[in-house]
Amino acid sequence: MRMRLPAGVFYQTYKQDQALWPTTFVKLRMWGLLVFLFLIFPQMASPYWLSLANLVGYTILSAMGVQLLIGYTGQVTLGHAAFIATGAYTAAVLVLQYHVPYPLAFLAAMIVAGLWSVLFGLPSARVKGFYLIMTTVAAQFITVDFIITQYVSRIGERGHSFSLPPGTLSIGPWVIQSDRDIYYLMIVLVTLSVLAMTNLARTRVGRAWMAIRDHDIAAEALGIPIVRYKLLAFFMAGVFGGMAGAFWIANVFAVSPEHFTWSWSLWLVGVLLIGGLGSNYGTIFGSLFMTLVMEALRNVVTWMAPFFPSLETSFLFIKEAAFGLAIILFLLYEPNGLAYRWWQIKNYIHLWPFSYE
Amino acid sequence: MEFFLQLVLTGIMVGSIYALVALGWALIYKCSGVLNLAMGELTLIGAYVSLTFYEWGLPFPAALAATLAIGAVLGMLTERLFLRRLIGEPVLTVIMVTVGLSFFFRGIIELIWGTDLRVFHPPVFPQEPIRLGTLVINQVYLWSFLASLAMLGALVAFFRYTRWGLAMQAMADDEMAAMALGISPKFVYAAAWALAFMAAGVGGSLLGNINGVNIAVGYLGLLVLPAVVLGGLNSIPGAIVGGLIIGVLQNLAGGYLDRFTPGGVKDIFPLAVMTLVLLVKPYGLFGWVRIERV
């Protein structure tokens, strides 16, 4: 799905051809977006919108690793919450028990989650498809429901050790306490990881991953060491997951295994299917769409609650059912996701008035 | 030794229920190639439907029969509405549709029945345990065991001796040849889903009799995945044997390993076994070894 360029754009050097933002218009647009996200939005938005934005950002960060595995490498994972949990708990334990500075704990969380992910990626050397999915499901239950629930969350005194009141975490002199601080942390992380993902996909590693996704045997015949690249994909996905987890502890008052259930793993895959596989647009659109639609649904339910009092308590169930239905309908009627629709619209505009193909 | 025998016996009894649900799973996979991750929710639906009928005052066998009927209808509806359009789609798409189904079903179940633990009241089976020498068996387990054996027997007989069962076997074996012989794939897929819903329904209502009914029954339904992986995905006897082995292993782990940990070994032990099986013998005990072609 290479983007068509608007009429009248010609490359004269390879440098131009390989530029991240190929035209002046794109450059302006991206800088405008960055200015909006970094300067305008956090100043204008109310705390409600900021916390919503933080949730979108957390979903993007969480889904990034899943996108890498499913969308780029073709290794389906249904247990990514395990690695997010690993990151969150590593960072929380380091900060709370050992008083490690947050940035260092953050890095450690990324590395530990990456290594833990490689451990469960090892079967990918031998099995694929459904069998690999089962391994990742096992990773989810072994990590979160057993190791973290039974052992890690009992470090220190239960109930006290993992509470993180605002102001616990600080980066140098900057103490993270308000929603706006969390927003700045989130937007920096999201920007960096989107940039990292884009560049990974454009370079040797990403191309190797995509070759494995498209046909693993052909990829091996072309000289790509598939086991090494698959494990690298698991490592990087774990690193992204650890990043999401280490960010999450800044966003909550207490870490609990209930934040990282199997439902959350499945939710992330659903987000990607709705957004679209194999592009950053998919990750971002899916996260935006699902978070905002669910929030709109919550508002409708709250609005209707005076008329139907039982609705308020059953919002979670309505949300689950709606999410399930959304996945099914998207897979049946829009299997390429929102990103594909976006790509079509953009091409239509670029090629206008000759937008037939 | 006595402790060991006791654990094995209980394991076999519980395992027979897993075997029943696993059979339903293997049936869908064999006939239509759908890897179903919504099995836990199908079990849950069965448990709640039979509980509701029982609370309305129907005797338990009648409630079970009604569950079977509703299961068959729901199974055919699910196949018709969602799965039929997905024939020939990539694995991920089909799996994620079943994941979507599981979210959808769970949301609906919680909307209708809430999340509190509900028990069959008055208890269906007598409370006092049966003694076999020194071994003690709860009557619930014994009757569940017998009921799942009966259901397993009925299903196996259905496959071996009836026209419809043979048609389903033919379709599982070679889709093209079966179609050339005039077997309708639509019928076979619908029948497979109906049977899976029915098997899961019976399994769910039996599990509900043992521990009461809440969302946790759905988790027990998920244990079919280790069972079918262990037995081999496309093998009916494998599903039965796998279910029994998983039941026994789960109880042994609960009996012997639980004291070394803060708890919870019983729940994840089957999944740990599954990971090991995947590493050593990914096609299971009875599954077909597929040869990859370029």
Query: Where are the domains positioned within chain A?
Result: 47-351
CATH of A47-351, one of 1.10.10, 1.10.3470, 1.20.120, 1.10.287: 1.10.3470
Average pLDDT over residues A279-304: 90
Mutate to test the interface with B, among A222, A265, A327, A333 (most CBs of B within 10 A): A327
d(CA A178, CA A104): 21
Residue type, A120: F
Residues in B touching A154 (Cβ below 8 Å): 262
Of B103, B110, B229, nearest to A323 by CB-CB distance is B103
Average pLDDT over residues A220-234: 93
pLDDT of amino acid A80: 94
Interface confidence, given as ipTM, is: 0.84
Q: Which two tokens stand for residue B252?
A: 């042994």
Min CA distance, A185 vs chain B (Å)?
Answer: 32
Q: Do A78 and B99 touch (CB under 8 A)?
A: yes
If we measure between CA atoms, which residue out of A344, A183, A338 comes closest to residue A251?
Answer: A183
Ranges under pLDDT 70 in chain B = 290-294
Q: What is the mean pLDDT of chain A?
A: 88
Closest chain B residue by Cα to residue A137:
B271
d(CA B216, CA B218): 5
CB A246 within 8 A of CB A106: yes
Say yes or no: B96 contacts chain A, CB-CB below 8 A. Answer: yes
Average pLDDT over residues A270-292: 92
Residues in A touching B261 (Cβ below 8 Å): 150
Whether the ω angle into residue A6 lies within 30 degrees of 0, i.e. cis, is: no
Of A123, A127, A138, nearest to B272 by CB-CB distance is A138
Residues in A touching B36 (Cβ below 8 Å): none
CB B14 within 8 A of CB B227: no
Closest chain A residue by Cα to residue B35:
A130
pLDDT of amino acid B292: 47
Min CA distance, A79 vs chain B (Å)?
Answer: 13
pLDDT of amino acid B294: 36
Q: Do B267 and A318 touch (CB under 8 A)?
A: no
Min CA distance, A128 vs chain B (Å)?
Answer: 10
Helices (H), chain A: 14-17, 24-35, 41-44, 47-66, 81-98, 102-121, 130-140, 179-202, 204-214, 216-221, 226-251, 262-275, 280-304, 310-313, 315-333, 337-351
Say yes or no: B111 contacts chain A, CB-CB below 8 A. Answer: yes
Residues in A touching B216 (Cβ below 8 Å): none
Closest chain B residue by Cα to residue A149:
B264
pLDDT of amino acid A208: 95
pLDDT of amino acid A233: 95
pLDDT of amino acid A146: 87
Mutate to test the interface with A, among B268, B276, B279, B289 (most CBs of A within 10 A): B268
Min CA distance, A17 vs chain B (Å)?
Answer: 34
d(CA A185, CA A247): 8
Say yes or no: B267 contacts chain A, CB-CB below 8 A. Answer: yes
Please say if the pLDDT value at position A357 is more than 60.
Answer: no
Average pLDDT over residues A324-330: 91
Instruction: Please report how many Cα atoms fall inside a 13 Å half-sphere around the Cα of residue A336, on the Cβ side.
Output: 8
Band of pLDDT at residue A18, cut at 50, 70 and 90: confident
Please say if the pLDDT value at position A351 is more than 80.
Answer: no
How far CA A6 is from CA of A24, A28, A279, in Å, comes to 11, 15, 21
B59, burial (CB in 10 Å: exposed 0-12, middle 13-18, buried 19+): exposed
CB A288 within 8 A of CB A203: no
pLDDT of amino acid B234: 76
Q: Do B93 and A133 touch (CB under 8 A)?
A: no
Please say if the pLDDT value at position A310 is more than 80.
Answer: no
b/e code B270-294 from CB counts within 10 Å (16+ = b): bbbbbbebbeeebbbbbbeeeeeee
Of B82, B108, B264, nearest to A328 by CB-CB distance is B82
Q: Do A131 and B282 touch (CB under 8 A)?
A: yes
Say yes or no: B85 contacts chain A, CB-CB below 8 A. Answer: yes
For the CA atoms of A27, A32, A37, A38, what is the dihedral angle to 10 degrees? 90
pLDDT in tens, A185-205: 999 999 999 999 999 988 999
Band of pLDDT at residue A271, cut at 50, 70 and 90: very high
Mutate to test the interface with A, among B42, B82, B103 (most CBs of A within 10 A): B103
Cβ-Cβ contacts under 8 Å for A14 (sequence gap 6 or more):
none
List the end-to-end C-alpha distance of chain A, in Å, as a whole number: 14
- Domains of chain B, each with CATH number or no CATH: 2-280 (1.10.3470)
Please say if the pLDDT value at position A173 is more than 80.
Answer: yes
Q: What secondary structure does DSSP assign to chain B, as a single string?
A: -HHHHHHHHHHHHHHHHHHHHHHHHHHHHHHH----S-HHHHHHHHHHHHHHHHHTT--HHHHHHHHHHHHHHHHHHHIIIIIGGGTT--HHHHHHHHHHHHHHHHHHHHHHH-SS-B--SS-SS-SSPEEETTEEE-HHHHHHHHHHHHHHHHHHHHHHHSHHHHHHHHHHH-HHHHHHTT--HHHHHHHHHHHHHHHHHHHHHHHHHHH-BSTHHHHHHHTHHHHHHHH-TT-HHHHHHHHHHHHHHHHHHHHHTGGGSSS-HHHHHHHHHHHHHHHH-TTTTT---PPP--
pLDDT of amino acid A3: 58
Mutate to test the interface with A, among B99, B225, B230, B292 (most CBs of A within 10 A): B99
Of A126, A138, A331, nearest to B282 by CB-CB distance is A126
Cβ-Cβ contacts under 8 Å for B252 (sequence gap 6 or more):
B4, B7, B8, B11
